[in-house]
Structures are given as C-alpha cells and as structure tokens.
C-alpha cells in the first residue's frame, strides 16, 4: 500500500476530544441521545453551536496550504499538518466552553460533524451513532475515507461500512491504492516522473503544484506520504474556514 495515514495523527488512536473533557453527562442515555440532540438544536443544518446567526463566507487564510506542505522535505511535512489539526480542535472546543446552555461534549461533536461534512455523507451516517464518542469516531475516519472513495468513483453511502468507520477507512485507502497502482502499471515511477503521484494528486483534486512537489521526493513511500499530508492540510483548512467564520 502506497498511501498510508500517518502514525500518531488525528486519523489514528485516541483523539483530543476523548481526553479534553472528563466529566461527561450523557453516557447513560445513548438510545435517546439522537432525539434529544435534534430537539435541542445540536445538529443544526446551517448554523454551528457557538456561531453567530449571520456569518461570513467560509474562506481560509491560514498560511499552511497543501502546496506549502508538499514543498517541504520528506519527514518535515507532517508537523504543520498536525498544527492545523490542533487548530481545528481549538476552534471546535472554544465556542462550547463556558456556555451553560449546552452540553459541552454534544456541542463539540456537533461542531466537528458540521466542520467536516463537505458532501452530506457524515450527517447521513454519523448522526445516528449510539453515543457521542461514536459520532466523533465516525467523523474522524469517515471524513477522509469519503475522499478516498469519491476519488475513484465509488459511493460512500454503499461502499463504506459505517458500522466500523476505522476499518472501513483503511479498506477505502487500500482500494484507492489498488486502483491507482493498476492505472499506473507499466508507466514511469521515479523521482520527478511519478505516475502514481500525479494520478493521486489528480483524483484528489490537489493540483499541479502539489503533484510536482510530491513527485520530487526520492522514494515511492515518501511521495505517497506527501500526497496524504497535502490532502489532510486541505481537509483541515476547509474545516477551519467553517469553524472560524
């Protein structure tokens, strides 16, 4: 497999949301949770919890761009992506802190869902998870899993097992790798002339600059890591733009 989620990233292991709040009040009411959240407005269609009724357009001016990330040497492109991830966590939690009118965990979960739901798949499949931790896990692994599948023309509604988002995320990435490997069979695969890199950037809509910078890396593994880092930078920038509007 040539594109791999980075070890220790927000895509794997315990998320910051699981340790940021110790006193969780809703663990015992999983069956009623979805109805209560909907009634209380935790799953808004247009407005985030903590967001003003009228908000500016979601445009990110964060200097950490996919192009910048791809321009960095191998081994140095992940830290800025992790910085973006941390900024997303701050933006998700800040509006929920100190607000006596909302449950903190439910508020954060709603903001996380809204921030990453670019196509509507997350709302369709994550809202009904059995508890709030499951909602966040669904978003955490579904958000990029959706991209891996859409990139090769698959349907996330049917081709992603929403009952096991983590496993399905890994399967979606493997499927993407397999499809791209087949497309590039017999084509150039070397630094500066990498079919796998250019095709990955194309199907993930990362642009020519990212494709060129990632292709310059020496090994196929480094080029794959570059593509994943650039993708994640774009994903977190989009989320920040929504959360900070």
Taking only the tens place, the pLDDT of each residue in 64-90 is 999 999 999 999 999 999 999 999 999
C-alpha separations of 27 from 39, 40, 55, 110, 131 in Å: 18, 17, 33, 16, 7
The structure tokens listed for 214 are: 């990632």
CB 95 within 8 A of CB 23: no
What's phi and psi for 128, nearest 5 deg? -90, 15
In this prediction, residue 18 has a pLDDT band, given cuts at 50, 70 and 90, of: very low
pLDDT at 43: 47
Distance between CA atoms of residues 145 and 134, nearest Å? 16
Q: pTM of the entire structure?
A: 0.79
pLDDT digits (tens, 9 = 90+) for 131-190: 999 999 999 999 999 999 999 999 999 999 999 999 999 999 999 999 999 999 999 999
Q: Which of 94, 74, 62 is nearest to 235 (CA)?
A: 62
Span of 40-44, 166-170, 226-230 with lowest mean pLDDT? 40-44
Look at the block and give the residue holding tokens 């701050």: 90
C-alpha 22/C-alpha 52 separation (Å) is 28
Task: State the Cα–Cα distance between residues 70 and 226, nearest whole angstrom.
Answer: 6
Token pair for residue 179?
């499809």
- Domain boundary assignment for the chain: 17-41+68-243
pLDDT reading at 102 higher than 90: no
3-state class (DSSP) for residue 66: helix
Give kind and range of the element (H or E) at residue 137: helix 132-150
* Nearest C-alpha neighbor of 225 from the set 74, 65, 11, 9: 74
Pick the closest to residue 220 from 187, 243, 201, 195 (CA basis). 195
pLDDT at site 100:
79
Place of tokens 């499927």: 175
Residue 4's pLDDT is 64
């Amino acid at each position: 497999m040539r594109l791999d989620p980075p070890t220790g990233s927000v895509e794997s292991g315990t998320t910051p949301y699981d340790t940021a709040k110790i006193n969780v009040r809703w663990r015992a009411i999983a069956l009623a949770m979805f109805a209560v959240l909907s009634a209380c407005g935790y799953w808004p269609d247009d407005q985030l919890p903590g967001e003003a009724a009228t908000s500016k357009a979601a445009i990110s001016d964060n200097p950490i761009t996919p192009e910048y990330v791809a321009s960095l040497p191998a081994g140095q492109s992940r830290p800025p992506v992790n910085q973006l991830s941390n900024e997303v966590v701050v933006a998700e939690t800040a509006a929920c802190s100190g607000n006596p009118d909302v449950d903190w965990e439910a508020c954060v979960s709603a903001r996380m869902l809204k921030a990453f739901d670019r196509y509507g798949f997350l709302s369709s499949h994550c809202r009904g998870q059995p508890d709030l931790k499951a909602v966040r896990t669904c978003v955490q692994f579904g958000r990029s899993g959706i991209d891996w599948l859409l990139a090769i023309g698959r349907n996330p509604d049917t081709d992603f097992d929403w009952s096991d988002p983590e496993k399905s995320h890994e399967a979606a990435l493997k499927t993407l790798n397999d499809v791209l490997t087949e497309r590039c069979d017999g084509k150039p695969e070397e630094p500066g002339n990498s079919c796998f890199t250019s095709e990955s950037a194309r199907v993930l809509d990362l642009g020519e600059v990212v494709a060129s910078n990632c292709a310059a890396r020496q090994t196929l593994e480094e080029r794959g890591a570059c593509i994943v880092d650039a993708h994640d930078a774009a994903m977190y920038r989009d989320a920040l733009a929504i959360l900070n509007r």
